[in-house]
């Protein structure tokens, strides 16, 4: 139809367009071709595996934690199994209306409203977004069967068999073993929790925390085949069983622990106690009142009001362990520590005589200091001064240390004996307390002089408005002033005096056993240090403490005068404004070759002989009734256990 001339007249623009479109089509075809070649040839194996993985579900099988036992093998903490109704947020329907419909169906069969379910999901995934949400523990078997039969209607909902901590001994030793909760997001970043996943359980306090790597087992993994709806087909592809955690044996003596807790809980105010082997540092008993029920923390959710009540000072702050965190002036129980400093620095000898005329004057116009009850004891040497607890005697000793420029010796020996520093016990949360020193107070005073300078502090009358004076030395000599110590520190100090100078490292962990009961590790830490305390000085101090407990003029004779095992102990009554007097008692037994030390304190308990001494009596009685052979070896007999009473009469200074 067209001749050659007409063909030559075709527009050149049209030919260009055809060429461009043809090139574009060729490029697109090449891209598609190479993409298909990449997917099918180069990446074929990869996507085949992913497709196969879509048919497989991995189920974590949580390992049971190891048991916690006392030294006699009695179980304090073990596990029980529980059927937990859980929701995995990542597997819930993505569309809001479908999720709402599922929650309505789920709420109908569980008795929970959709709002309650949403609330629990928000609460439990706040820190761990991918964490399984536990709606109910110990789910009813009828509910479990129904959900499994209708799994396609409840995507993301499952019933898992989980291990929950169980406490056969109730609240006994709760402050020691602590509690377990899900690992937090911050903890997952720590090296010690490497390899854990959200939802795993770890120890959060007590020995559950300290020995978490021992108690925590290794989770298992089961791979099962699932259908297109994600429901298991019943075929297990592979199974790696969980490895249970090892068992932890504590050094606790059950009878001692029970006696101590019962004793401190008999008072309306908080208190604490420690019973320890003076040679090894093994803790035989340690408790704080009020205590708490650890089973609370086995529940998936803890109401805010419950946790607030456990931490509120108005309710006694039950989660605080006063045996290692309670900081108090110690009163006259500090006098043996002052004695060591004075004897070793040469300010005092066991036969130095100081006349107690009933009062002591600082010589600065202040009111003279007197003994409790206005007593005057006359000429005293160290053992007699400890026996009657003469404040005036030790006021003079404190002043002599200051005048002889031996304040540094007072600080040194108190610190070396463990006052004002952590003891290193294998329990988390221990605090150092405060051993007041001239350097400490003078630095506070210096800072307070320039409140506007960096680090400057407001001047507080009586605290930062003056440098260290003789009065501070005198106060410290009798355990008053700014001193803050806890029962464990005092127990360690007395143990060092009684055992020849070893500052032991207290510990509650005694042995690790595998699940079959075979020992795999023993805990026997060496002493922190050894102090060269002259044996003559130790004998003089213990002689005084023995007289204080078991001689008619002793401050705790009314409690321990008829105790069947020879022992030595010291009362303490510390002023603690704005609270009532702090009651203290620290003792060692048997005398003179001590094996056990007991330290007890009761807030606002009044005189040491009225509250803390009866607590120590109960503890020692329980120990020797359980170990009658030791009582006989010490020249005594198993003591009679008597209920605590505060009706003891005071025949001497009640310090």
Other CB atoms within a 10 A radius of the CB of residue 62 amount to 16
With a CB cutoff of 8 Å and minimum separation 6, the contacts of 317 are: 310, 311
Task: Give the per-residue pLDDT at 504.
Answer: 98
Other Cβ atoms less than 10 A from the Cβ of 23: the count is 10
Confidence at residue 648, expressed as pLDDT on a 0 to 100 scale: 41
- Which of 519-523, 628-632, 645-649 is predicted least confidently? 645-649
What pLDDT does residue 140 have?
81
Helices (H), 125-220: 141-149, 174-177, 206-210, 212-215
Residue 126 has pLDDT above 50, yes or no: yes
- Reported pTM: 0.84
Identify which of 153-157, 459-463, 560-564 has the greatest average pLDDT.
Answer: 560-564
For residue 608, the model assigns a pLDDT of 96
Query: Rounded to whole angstroms, how far apart are CA atoms 190 and 209?
Result: 14
277 pLDDT above the threshold of 70: yes
Q: Is the pLDDT of residue 650 over 50?
A: no
- Pairwise CA distance, residues 371 & 492, whole Å: 28
Share of the chain above pLDDT 70, in %: 87
Burial of 288-315, coded b for 16+ CB within 10 Å and e otherwise, reads bbbbbebeebbebeeeeeeeebbeeeee
DSSP tag of 42: I
Rounded distance between C-alpha atoms, residue 588 and residue 149, angstroms: 66
Distance (Å, whole) CA 306 – CA 297: 10
- Mean of the pLDDT values across residues 527-546? 98
Of 138-142, 199-203, 425-429, where does mean pLDDT reach its minimum? 138-142
Among 146-155, 399-408, 435-444, 453-462, which range has the highest average pLDDT? 435-444
Selected residue with higher pLDDT from 55 and 620: 620
What is the predicted pLDDT for the residue at 641? 67
Distance CA 333, CA 270 (A): 19
Q: How far is CA 477 from the centre of its chain?
A: 31
For 311-335, what is each residue's pLDDT tens digit? Answer: 999 889 999 999 999 999 999 999 9
Q: What CATH superfamily is the domain 57-250?
A: Penicillin-binding protein 2a (Domain 2) (3.90.1310.10)
For position 393, what pLDDT does the model report? 98
Looking at residue 35, its pLDDT comes to 67
CA distances from 423 to 203, 276, 504, 571 (A): 22, 13, 8, 22
pLDDT of residue 649: 40
Average pLDDT over residues 387-395: 97
Q: What is the CB neighbour count within 10 angstroms for residue 351?
A: 9
Give kind and range of the element (H or E) at residue 237: strand 232-240
Host H or E run for residue 627: none
Summarised one tens digit per residue, pLDDT across range 88-107 is 877 788 888 888 888 888 88
Residue 543 has pLDDT above 60, yes or no: yes
- The SS3 call for residue 610 is coil
Q: Is the pLDDT of residue 293 over 70?
A: yes
Amino acid 92: pLDDT: 84
Range list of H helices, 449-513: 470-477, 487-499
Residues 38, 40, 46: CA angle, nearest 5 degrees:
90
CA 544 – CA 541 distance, rounded (Å): 5
Angle between helices 391-403 and 470-477 (to 10 degrees): 140
CA distances from 470 to 3, 174, 330, 333, 436 (A): 129, 43, 19, 21, 13
The residues pairing with 434 across neighbouring beta strands, listed in sequence order, are 484
User: Does residue 652 register a pLDDT over 90?
Assistant: no
Coil, helix or strand at residue 204: coil
Instruction: Tell me the pLDDT of the chain averaged across its residues.
Output: 87
* pLDDT of residue 456 exceeding 70: no
Cis peptide bond prior to 160, omega within 30° of 0: no
- How confident is residue 524, by pLDDT bands cut at 50, 70 and 90? very high
Across the range 382-390, mean pLDDT stands at 98
What whole-number distance in Å separates Cα of residue 460 and Cα of residue 467? 12
Which of 13-22, 188-197, 440-449 is predicted least confidently? 13-22
Token pair of 7 as six digits: 């063909």
- In the DSSP assignment, the letter for residue 41 is I
Q: Over 80: is that where the pLDDT of 590 sits? A: yes
Asked if the model's pLDDT at residue 218 lies above 90, the reply is no
| 85, 134 Cβ separation under 8 angstroms | yes
Helix, strand, coil percent content, the chain, rounded in steps of 5? 40, 20, 40
Give 453's pLDDT tier (boundaries 50, 70, 90): low
Q: What number of CA atoms fall less than 13 Å from residue 337's CA on the CB side?
A: 33
Query: Cα(571)–Cα(560) distance, rounded to whole angstroms?
Result: 11
The three state secondary structure string of 91-122 is HCCCCHHHHHHHHHHHHHHHCCCHHHHHHHHH
Q: What tokens does 192 get?
A: 């010690």
Across 219-233, 358-372, 409-423, the highest mean pLDDT is recorded for: 409-423
Check pLDDT > 90 for residue 587.
yes
Per-residue pLDDT at 395 exceeds 90? yes
- Nearest alpha carbon to residue 608 among 545, 562, 565: 545
| pLDDT, tens digit (0-9, with 9 covering 90-100), for 22-69 | 777 777 777 777 666 665 665 656 555 554 555 666 667 788 999 999
CA distance 306 to 143: 29
Q: What is the pLDDT of residue 290?
A: 97
Could you tell me which residue, 199 or 525, shows the higher pLDDT?
525
> CB neighbours (10 Å) of residue 36?
10
Distances (CA, A) of 18 to 5, 11, 23, 296, 501: 21, 11, 9, 79, 102
Partners of residue 162 on adjacent β-strands: 82
Q: Among 577, 592, 573, which Cα is nearest to 535's? A: 592
Report the pLDDT value the prediction gives residue 179, as an integer from 0 to 100. Answer: 95
Q: How far apart are CA 477 and CA 377, in angstroms?
A: 18
Q: Which residue has the higher pLDDT, 488 or 13?
A: 488
Q: Across residues 407-425, what is the average pLDDT?
A: 94
pLDDT-derived band at 651 (thresholds 50, 70, 90) equals very low
Q: What is the predicted pLDDT for the residue at 654? A: 58
**Average pLDDT, integer, range 617-645:** 86
d(CA 223, CA 306): 39
Residues 299 and 297: their CA atoms lie apart, in Å, by 5
SS3 488: helix
Q: How far apart are CA 134 and CA 139, in angstroms?
A: 11
348 against 651, higher pLDDT: 348
Topology of the domain comprising 254-633:
Beta-lactamase (3.40.710)
pLDDT of residue 252: 98
Peptide bond into 578 cis (omega under 30): yes
Number of H helices, E strands in the chain: 23, 23
């Amino acid at each position: 139809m067209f001749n050659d001339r007409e063909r030559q007249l075709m527009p050149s623009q049209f030919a260009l367009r055809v060429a461009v479109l043809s090139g574009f089509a060729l490029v697109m075809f090449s891209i598609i071709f190479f993409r298909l070649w990449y997917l099918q040839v180069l990446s074929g194996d990869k996507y085949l595996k992913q497709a196969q993985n879509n048919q497989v579900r991995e189920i974590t099988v949580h390992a049971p934690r190891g048991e916690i036992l006392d030294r006699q093998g009695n179980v304090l903490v073990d596990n029980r199994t529980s059927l937990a109704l859980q929701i995995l947020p990542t597997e819930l329907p993505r569309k809001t209306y479908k999720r709402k419909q599922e929650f309505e169906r789920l709420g109908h069969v569980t008795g929970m409203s959709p709002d309650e379910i949403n609330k629990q999901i928000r609460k439990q995934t706040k820190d761990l977004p991918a964490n399984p949400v536990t709606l109910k523990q110990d789910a009813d078997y009828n509910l479990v069967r129904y959900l499994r039969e209708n799994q396609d209607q409840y995507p993301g909902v499952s019933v898992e068999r989980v291990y929950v901590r169980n406490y056969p001994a109730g609240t006994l030793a709760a402050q020691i073993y602590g509690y377990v909760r899900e690992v937090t997001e911050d903890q997952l970043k720590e090296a010690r929790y490497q390899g854990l996943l959200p939802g795993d359980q770890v120890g959060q306090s007590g020995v559950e925390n300290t020995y978490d790597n021992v108690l925590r087992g290794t989770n298992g993994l089961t791979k099962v085949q699932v259908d297109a709806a994600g429901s298991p087909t019943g075929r297990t592809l592979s199974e790696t069983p969980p490895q249970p955690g090892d068992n932890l044996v504590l050094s606790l003596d059950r009878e001692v622990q029970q006696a101590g807790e019962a004793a401190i809980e008999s008072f309306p105010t908080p208190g604490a106690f420690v019973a320890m082997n003076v040679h090894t540092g093994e803790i035989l008993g340690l408790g704080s009142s009020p205590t708490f029920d650890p089973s609370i923390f086995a529940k998936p959710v803890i109401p805010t009001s419950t946790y607030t009540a456990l931490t509120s000072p108005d309710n006694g702050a039950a989660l605080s362990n006063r045996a290692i965190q309670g900081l108090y002036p110690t009163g006259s129980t500090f006098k043996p520590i002052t004695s060591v400093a004075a004897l070793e620095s040469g300010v005092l000898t066991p036969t130095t005589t100081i006349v107690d005329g009933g009062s002591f004057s600082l010589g600065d116009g202040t009111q003279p200091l007197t003994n409790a009850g206005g007593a005057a004891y006359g000429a005293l040497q160290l053992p007699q001064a400890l026996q009657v607890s003469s404040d005036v005697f030790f006021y003079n000793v404190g002043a002599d240390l200051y005048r002889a420029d031996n304040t540094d010796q007072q600080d040194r020996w108190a610190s070396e004996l463990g006052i004002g520093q952590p003891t290193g016990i294998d329990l988390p949360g221990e605090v150092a307390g405060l051993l007041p020193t001239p350097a400490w107070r003078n630095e506070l005073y210096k800072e307070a002089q320039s409140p506007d300078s960096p680090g400057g502090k407001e001047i507080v009358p009586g605290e930062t408005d003056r440098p260290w004076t003789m009065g501070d030395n005198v106060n410290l000599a009798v355990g008053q002033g700014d001193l803050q110590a806890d029962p464990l520190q005092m127990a360690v100090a007395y143990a060092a005096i009684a055992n020849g100078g070893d500052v032991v490292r207290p510990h509650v962990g005694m042995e690790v056993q595998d699940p079959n009961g075979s020992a795999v590790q023993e805990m026997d830490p060496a002493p922190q240090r050894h102090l060269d305390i002259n044996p003559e000085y130790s004998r003089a101090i213990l002689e005084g403490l023995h007289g204080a407990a078991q001689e008619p003029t002793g401050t705790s004779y009314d409690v321990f005068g008829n105790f069947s095992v020879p022992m030595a102990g010291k009362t303490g009554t510390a002023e603690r404004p704005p609270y009532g007097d702090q009651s203290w008692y620290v003792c060692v037994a048997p005398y003179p070759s001590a094996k056990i030390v007991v330290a007890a304190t009761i807030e606002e308990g009044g005189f040491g002989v009225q509250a803390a001494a009866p607590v120590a009596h109960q503890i020692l009685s329980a120990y020797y009734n359980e170990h009658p052979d030791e009582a006989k070896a010490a020249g005594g007999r198993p003591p009679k256990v008597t209920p605590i009473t505060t009706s003891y009469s005071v025949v001497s200074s009640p310090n």
